[in-house]
Amino acid sequence: MTDTQRRDLKPTPAPESLADDGGLSIGQPNGAKWWRFRYRFDDKQKLLALGVYPDVSLKQA
């Protein structure tokens, strides 16, 4: 995932996301680019929102 890919992510009618290998993704519901982290706990999938790009950088997320 590069900065150019994150910047060029355009709003679409259906939710889209750009993900890495470790569970971190950036999605754009309603045009906002939210950092999200998917993980499992007690055999249940969880989703943690970490902030909005560019306010929260890749390094911070």
pLDDT, tens digit, 9 for 90 and up, residues 4-44 = 777 777 666 666 677 777 888 887 766 778 888 889 999 99
Give the residue ranges of DSSP H helices in the chain.
3-7
Domain ranges of the chain: 3-52
Provide the CATH topology of domain 3-52: Double Stranded RNA Binding Domain (3.30.160)
pLDDT score for 25? 82
- Is the peptide bond preceding residue 15 cis, with omega within 30 degrees of 0? no
Give, as one character, the DSSP assignment of residue 53: T
pLDDT score for 44? 94
- Mean pLDDT for 30-59 is 86
pLDDT score for 41? 93
